[in-house]
Structure 1
Amino acid sequence: MVGAAMTKSYVKAMFREIGRSKARFLSIMLIIFLGVAFYTGIRATGPDMLQAADDYYATQKLASNSVQSTAGLTKQDLAVLHQHRSQIAYQAVKYLDINQLNNNQTVRVAEVPAKQRVNRLTVVSGHLPRKANEIVLDQQARTLQPHLKLGSTYKIATTAKLNRSFNRRTFTVVGFVNSPRYIEKTTRGVTTVGKGTLDYFALVKPGTLTQKVASRIDVQFKNLAAVAPYSATYKHRQRVNTAKLKSWLKPQAAKRQAQLQRQARAQLAPQVRRVSQLSQQLPANSPILIKAQAQIKQAQTKIAAIGQPTYFYTGRSANPGYSEYHENTQRVVALSTVFPLFFIAIAALICLTTMTRMVTELRIQMGTLKALGYSNLAIGSEFMLYGGLASLLGTLLGVGFGVNFFPRFIAQAYGSMYNLPAINVQYLWTDILIALVIALACTMGSAAIVLRVDLHSTPATLMQPKAPKAGKTLWLEHWHGLWRRLSFNHKVTLRNLFRYKQRLLMTVLGIAGCMAMMITGFGLKDSIGDISVKQFNQLWHYDAIVVRNGTQTTQQRRALHRQSLYKNDLVLKQSQVTVERAGVANQTATLSVPQRPQQLKKFVVLRNRQSHHAYTLNGQGAIIDEKLAKLYDVKVGDQLPLKLGDHAIKHVRVAAIAENYVNHFIYLSPQAYHHIFGQHPVYNGNLVQFKHHGQTAQNQFASDLLKTKGMLNVSLLSTEKKNNFQMLDTMDLVVVIFVVAAGALALVVLYNLTNINVSERIRELSTIKVLGFYDSEVTMYIFRENLILTVMGIFFGCFMGDWLHSYILNTAEIDSLMFSPDIHPVSYGYSALLTLAFSLLVMWLMHRKLKRINMLDALKSVD
């Protein structure tokens, strides 16, 4: 009698089984590989991207706060911050925004601080300026002006007034740099000069600009050095730090006011003395003296009217690209919560089927070992070792491939948008351990479930082949009219399908799962791609937003109407409001009040997303966007809490919920605005339509208009659309990964299930081959079943895909964005065609295998 311990021969037998069934072992390993690679790789992508940003911000010492003032920032402001140097690092920056008249590009010319304490520059090529005639340019300048190279001459050519703000205007280009303030490659923020948006920045030596005060002070709080950006801890400390910074500089406003008044009085003093001298020389009623005294009095009134300057405090979120990068990583993180788990669940399902087949195949061997005295533990250990080894190898290979490939591929896709270094992959051991446990449960757990009956059977029972499953009358057979018309082959196909219900269920579920993932992948592409098309082509029918400092003047109206691009405009009030409610993150929305509400439909389509029923503004309430309604869980007739500037929170009745995808919008009629806020709206903006859409002409439109007094900003929708499409195109590459991975899994699933089907029925197939069936007829015998199961899987996969797509959209959306929930019909078609193509490929491989069947070996009796 052999003891329970495994002998050397038994171990050899186990490895011999692996060699004998290489296809099955490799298929299990490949399924585990795909599942683990996808799970660990996608799960690691978001953290890897965030870590890359964290490292970059820390290395370049990105400022956590910036301070600006309407009167500039002085040495006294810096002295206040110097008192708190134990808590902060800071540096003052002088800059001037200009519009280059020779190419209509808007440039921020800044002086490089002597010592870069914060916002350290990354030199891409060349070096920082060492002499007064040297200049370095933003890397983006090289993209916009390819002729600019190291050694090129760079000339500042702007208006005569701004030209006088420079001590030197001709420079030699000695370097190209990136700044951590602008991690996005194209966007450089807004300005009140030119077309309203900056194209790039240029850096010169200190002393180049004539201005005496600093334009901005950048501050880095030391208590944030070890805190991860974007984290809740960072946001909390940032709020505390900003409040602290405000309290430090609060007294400076009154001091700066007094300083400005003193400077103005000092400038006026010589004139006062001259007038005083005149009063002694001329009669009191002299016209010259009266005029001079009036001028002095007027100047003194202006000096007395000099108010306290306003200090502005901004955080990193004001930097172009900073918040957007986080939003993009959060989309990847959101996708990684569900999709990989669904993926690995399909892998587990197929492993269960494969291990079930293996146990069935080795029944006789199990009976023999049991008769020889091997314990149940020793017999079961072969299957555990087989499955465990496949899982372990699949997991090791999957982790190695997934963690190194997926994050790098996705980060590289986003790399086209951001000035960030390549990511360093990190192994998230918690996720790897979860993947290993799931992989082992897929194989060893499946084996344990299947073995629980066979291990308790007697050796005699096990040494007999398992009796084929008895056929049963199908419900179709009761439909005599149809059943009689079916051919023999079709009847056999239908009976075989419903005879092996477990196989039918597993195959349909496996194919449906893969089909669902492909639909979700294509659907995400549709949902993402539709955002820009629907928002910019269907809902918004204007080309620019003009913002003024108050009600439109005759001069401003004429300046707008005489533009060659001008076609039509809508006068409206636009301002930013905050929607506040406990338990929901505050949202910023654009409040729009058209002067003529009946004209709004020519510029903005307000409609129901599903029925396309159009809405019109009336005095009964606000029309809000769908995403805002979803975030605050409000319906038509509910109240939405709004905060406009320093006003108290007002509650606005929701009159309608309109289709919208980008940002938040609230529309009110003038009557509704007056009723809610108790004052008439100041119409400070225009929505403008153009006659045509050339980018150069649009930039010129913005540049010309901003020269008019009182014009603050011109935003071109073409710029926003371009940035939007670039972001969404990047997401498309991420979607491609999901589609390819789902397709690979579908191929492996179909191959594995078909291989099991053929292996289970090898005697049956050999029998019909002996009876004279041709090779093609034997293949069709199996293929008809596969085709029906594939079609069934495709059918149910459509419903599963709809659910999975909807679920992922809800988790992947950010607060300021709503995906289009529709999947294009063609996406279902692509997914179905791919699944059918994989099915055909698998059957071609099976056809080659079936041709090589040794009929005699397969038909040998095992009794």
Structure 2
Amino acid sequence: MTPAYFKAIFREIWRSKARFISITLIIFLGVAFYTGIRATGPDMLQAADDYFNRQSLATNSVQSTMGLTNSDTQALAQHASQVTYQKVKYLDVNQLNNNRVVRVAELPATQKLNKLRVVSGRLPQKANEIVLDTQAQRLQPSLKIGSTYKIVSTKALNQKFKRRTFKVVGFVNSPRYVENVSRGVTTVGKGTLDYFAYVRPQTLKLNVATRIDVQFKNLRGVTPYTAKYKRLNRQNTAKLKRWLKPQAKLRQTALQKQATQKIAPLAQATAALKQQVPAGTAQLVKLETQLKAAQAQVAAIKTPTYIYTDRSDNPGYTEYHENTQRVVALSTVFPLFFIAIAALICLTTMTRMVEELRLQMGTLKGLGYSNNAVGSEFMIYGGLAALLGTGLGVIFGVNFFPKFIAQAYGSMYNLPAISVQYLWTDIGVALAIALLCTLGTALVVLRVDLRSLPAQLLQPKAPKAGKTLLLERWTGFWRRLSFNHKITLRNLFRYKQRLLMTVLGIAGCMAMMITGFGLKDSIGDISTKQFNELWHYDAIVTRTGTETKAQRTTISKPSLYQASLALKSAQVTIKKGGVAEQTATLGVPEHAANLNKFVTLRSRTTHQKYTLSQSGAIIDEKLAKLYGVKVGDTLPIKLAGQTTKTIKVAAIAENYVNHFVYLSPSYYRQVFGKQPIYNSNLVQFTNKSEKRANAYANTLLKQTGILNVTLMSTEKNTNFKMFDSMNLVVLIFVISAGALALVVLYNLTNINVSERIRELSTIKVLGFYDGEVTMYIFRENFILTGLGIILGCFLGNWLHAYILQTAETNALMFSPGIHPISYVYSALLTVAFSLIVMVMMHRKLKHVNMLDALKSVD
């Protein structure tokens, strides 16, 4: 090929720059979406992996029902070449002065594992200093660096601290808690932790360690969540159990020895008295009775149970991975959906380009150019558009979408910002798809023309023949149509490829906009439905045990009080193969018939109301989905410190946030073999004043036996604030879909005008005004847009349902409905884009050179 030929190619690019830019822009949008969203999941995983390595997150943890001693650490010290370990002492405290449940732990002198990440301030250096979880600042905004922090709990717990007043010197994050809300369960207070705090060593009066964290060295450098990591972790856990297995018996023996030493004076006193007084003496009988009771207690000391956990037992750790997998699942379908639309438009555009350049192709073939040389113009044209669109799309997509989506998830996790990485396999796939869209479609279209003779190519292609429509047989309807409307209908069915491309393109864009608005509806409805339709109480009061008269008076006396329901409330864990361990709230109302006044238990689809039965439990819909259970199936649940029990599912109720299991008192007795202790109250208020609610909570906390007051208004404000950032994801959907819709409409309309320029010039010569000429084209566009909108509604409904199912977290269920107004917004935006294109095309049609357009080559 000569330099003159290359010059002709670049002249063609400049001459048809609008088409070249539109192809490039379509490729850009498709590639940006594909590579950007495909990179998001791996980027989020890489950020977590780097963070866990940097902070030395433990791979395993060990706890014991009787604490852990130096003997246990000595057993691990024998395997120091394989593990790093660290003892931890902590106490869970129900704070009566700020209504929070806090885990107070001693900071090791040297942090080997689970290193804290300082967000602000510094770590404690003196005995009177403390650092708090960043979650504490969110729950208690008054806490700042320099603030005084007091621990005020029950008398028994207070005595386990050497000091209880501290100065806050920093706020930290722990790699053990990557979630922004959940801090795990406890046997103290309401059953869930609010945040953690770290103090200097020797602050807690504990003789044994609460937990030993372990990190196996063979897992360093192994990517978390992978099959290799899981395989090695199983082997490591088996080793850990084998190493510590003898410790249980040793601990029992040591405890029995200690207890025997304590009662030794009693035994000696009894033996001495036996020698001094006759048998049966009252004093001797008393001592012998006390000795037997003490010896029985020594004999009753059981072998302690060692509890082994690993990272997968940490809900935050596991759910973060599951969320990244959801993003990966979205990246498999949604971008391909986007690229499919781009491919359809590229096919139409390249087809039109080949038809426009038939005369040039015939001339080149007549001059002796080979088929390869003639076709290379289209290859270079399409290849340049594909390369430019791919390059820009990769740069924009990889640098923008992962950060944007991770920022939305960042409201749920406290991990550091992600680092961008280029996934060359996905970039290669994107480039291949882009080249297929341009070069592939060009080859398909060229295959006929390149076989044609120069004489055939030098003749203009015959226009498509008109056909009689089925509508024309409906003579009563057809006669009433104007000439323009008849022409519009005939042209629609005359250019079937354009009809199909336009309808599918608009439907795809409409579907993505509906999905975006639908996600906003689904997220926004969670709060409304959960707090307004399903929960009808304003506070949860947690007590030490059965409600006393004084507590009942304190709860019901304030004027804010309206009604209350006593119930047993506890946290249960549910674990089943293949699903991350879930935490649910167990509720057993004292008067089951009154539960529906405080909680609506109903079917989400039919709104049928449920009542508690004597032969089964009511669980939430999301929990049922996670474990694949239906009505009549069983589910294993475990209360802290007890063995796993199995419950039968009597009904599955609508719920959107967290998990619950409701049992009637009689069914609770049947499952657990004992009477429930009603340790909580659901309380309704007469009004929603936040100030009065806080005053009510403060009053209750002064009453002996009341451990915690959870205000639902606070829960709503804190737990649902994170959903605001999900609007960013919705914005991505709407803007991306809108941009694609605009490009699709412009491209197809431009092709339509180019194809029919002689026809349009003819009607202008016949005296049609500019507005009439524009409507000649856009009457068809409006009909096609309308058909695309209708099809897009069905497509959008399906895509929205798919994305909801993919994007839900384990503890959250989105509301599946789309508001009718969202369909209206999507349709109006699509029509608005169509009008923008109409204005642009109107200006172009006003300046059509009719003489050039009507020149004949015959």
Could you tell me the TM-score, scaled by structure 1's length? 0.88
Q: Which residue of structure 1 aligns with residue 467 of structure 2?
A: 472
Report how far residue 593 of structure 1 moved.
6.2
Distance 2:647 2:100 in 1: 44
Q: Which residue of structure 2 aligns with residue 372 of structure 1?
A: 367
Q: Which residue of structure 2 aligns with residue 533 of structure 1?
A: 528
Q: Which residue of structure 2 aligns with residue 752 of structure 1?
A: 747
Q: Which residue of structure 1 aligns with residue 253 of structure 2?
A: 258
Deviates more, 1:601-610 or 1:353-362: 601-610
Deviations 1:57-92 (A, max 9, x none): 011001122223333322122112212222221111
Specify the code of the residue in structure 1 equivalent to 2:820.
P
Match of 1:175 among 167, 170, 178: 170
Residue correspondence of structure 1 range 220-619 to structure 2 within 5 A: 220-269=215-264, 298-317=293-312, 319=314, 321-542=316-537, 553=546, 555=548, 559=551, 562-564=554-556, 567-569=563-565, 571=567, 576=572, 597-618=592-613
Residue correspondence of structure 1 range 150-189 to structure 2 within 5 A: 150-158=145-153, 161-189=156-184
Report how far residue 303 of structure 1 moved.
4.2
SS in 2 for 1:563: helix
Distance 1:840 1:168 in 2: 72
| Contact 1:535-1:660 at 8 Å conserved across structures | yes
Match of 1:690 among 684, 688, 702: 684
| Contact 1:574-1:593 at 8 Å conserved across structures | no
Q: Which residue of structure 1 aligns with residue 820 of structure 2?
A: 825
Report how far residue 663 of structure 1 moved.
5.5
Distance 2:818 2:422 in 1: 35
Specify the code of the residue in structure 1 equivalent to 2:682.
V
| Contact 2:572-2:638 at 8 Å conserved across structures | yes
| Contact 1:139-1:178 at 8 Å conserved across structures | yes
Report how far residue 487 of structure 1 moved.
2.1
| Contact 1:579-1:589 at 8 Å conserved across structures | no
Q: Residues 526 and 468 of structure 1: is their aligned pair in 2 closer, same or farther, counting only changes over 3 Å?
A: same
Distance 2:502 2:442 in 1: 19
| Contact 1:572-1:686 at 8 Å conserved across structures | yes
Distance 1:101 1:628 in 2: 33
SS in 1 for 2:49: helix
SS in 2 for 1:483: helix
Specify the code of the residue in structure 2 equivalent to 1:436.
L
Q: Which residue of structure 2 aligns with residue 772 of structure 1?
A: 767
Deviations 1:347-404 (A, max 9, x none): 0000000001101110110111111111112111111111111011101110111011
SS in 2 for 1:167: coil
Q: Residues 137 and 862 of structure 1: is their aligned pair in 2 closer, same or farther, counting only changes over 3 Å?
A: same
| Contact 1:139-1:176 at 8 Å conserved across structures | yes
| Contact 2:573-2:581 at 8 Å conserved across structures | no
Deviates more, 1:147-156 or 1:108-117: 147-156
Deviations 1:513-560 (A, max 9, x none): 1111111222233333334433443334456677899xx6464x8646
Report how far residue 237 of structure 1 moved.
3.6
SS in 2 for 1:31: helix
Report how far residue 679 of structure 1 moved.
5.3
Match of 1:114 among 109, 116, 119: 109
Distance 1:191 1:705 in 2: 22
SS in 2 for 1:391: helix
SS in 1 for 2:308: strand
Distance 1:301 1:748 in 2: 85
| Contact 1:124-1:177 at 8 Å conserved across structures | yes
Distance 1:859 1:412 in 2: 57
| Contact 1:52-1:424 at 8 Å conserved across structures | yes
Match of 2:200 among 205, 213, 224: 205
SS in 2 for 1:89: strand
Matched, 1:790 2:755: no
Distance 2:101 2:811 in 1: 28
Matched, 1:806 2:801: yes
| Contact 2:315-2:582 at 8 Å conserved across structures | no
Gaps of 5+ in 1: 1-5
Report how far residue 486 of structure 1 moved.
2.0
Report how far residue 15 of structure 1 moved.
1.3
Deviates more, 1:527-536 or 1:835-844: 527-536
Distance 2:168 2:773 in 1: 75
| Contact 2:313-2:580 at 8 Å conserved across structures | no
Specify the code of the residue in structure 1 equivalent to 2:125.
R
- Percent identity at matched positions? 69
Q: Which residue of structure 1 aligns with residue 757 of structure 2?
A: 762
Distance 2:645 2:92 in 1: 37
Distance 2:166 2:450 in 1: 86
Match of 2:29 among 17, 25, 34: 34
- Aligned length in residues: 848
SS in 1 for 2:720: helix
Report how far residue 589 of structure 1 moved.
6.8
Specify the code of the residue in structure 1 equivalent to 2:565.
D
Report how far residue 718 of structure 1 moved.
6.0
Report how far residue 221 of structure 1 moved.
2.0
Deviates more, 1:462-471 or 1:195-204: 195-204
Report how far residue 503 of structure 1 moved.
0.9
Deviates more, 1:118-127 or 1:497-506: 118-127
Q: Residues 105 and 635 of structure 1: is their aligned pair in 2 closer, same or farther, counting only changes over 3 Å?
A: closer
Report how far residue 469 of structure 1 moved.
1.6
Deviates more, 1:459-468 or 1:747-756: 459-468
SS in 1 for 2:461: coil
Q: Which residue of structure 1 aligns with residue 71 of structure 2?
A: 76
Could you tell me the TM-score, scaled by structure 2's length? 0.89
| Contact 2:547-2:678 at 8 Å conserved across structures | no
Two-structure CA RMSD over aligned residues (Å): 3.7
Deviates more, 1:198-207 or 1:87-96: 198-207
Gaps of 5+ in 2: none
Q: Residues 81 and 699 of structure 1: is their aligned pair in 2 closer, same or farther, counting only changes over 3 Å?
A: farther
Report how far residue 846 of structure 1 moved.
1.2
Report how far residue 755 of structure 1 moved.
0.9
Deviates more, 1:15-24 or 1:559-568: 559-568
Deviations 1:422-441 (A, max 9, x none): 11111112211111111111
SS in 2 for 1:42: helix
Distance 2:710 2:823 in 1: 39
Q: Residues 548 and 81 of structure 1: is their aligned pair in 2 closer, same or farther, counting only changes over 3 Å?
A: farther
Distance 2:185 2:538 in 1: 17
Specify the code of the residue in structure 2 equivalent to 1:827.
S
Match of 1:742 among 710, 733, 737: 737
Deviations 1:197-236 (A, max 9, x none): 4444333322233322222221112232233223344344
Deviates more, 1:31-40 or 1:570-579: 570-579
Q: Residues 338 and 697 of structure 1: is their aligned pair in 2 closer, same or farther, counting only changes over 3 Å?
A: farther
Q: Residues 704 and 189 of structure 1: is their aligned pair in 2 closer, same or farther, counting only changes over 3 Å?
A: farther
Distance 2:477 2:507 in 1: 28
SS in 2 for 1:72: coil
| Contact 1:532-1:724 at 8 Å conserved across structures | no
Deviations 1:287-331 (A, max 9, x none): 777766655655554444444444333333554632332233233
Report how far residue 98 of structure 1 moved.
3.6
Report how far residue 812 of structure 1 moved.
3.7
Distance 1:217 1:230 in 2: 22
Distance 1:625 1:98 in 2: 30
| Contact 2:312-2:580 at 8 Å conserved across structures | no
Deviates more, 1:613-622 or 1:85-94: 613-622
Specify the code of the residue in structure 2 equivalent to 1:688.
L
Q: Which residue of structure 2 aligns with residue 3 of structure 1?
A: none
| Contact 2:541-2:683 at 8 Å conserved across structures | no
| Contact 1:595-1:683 at 8 Å conserved across structures | no
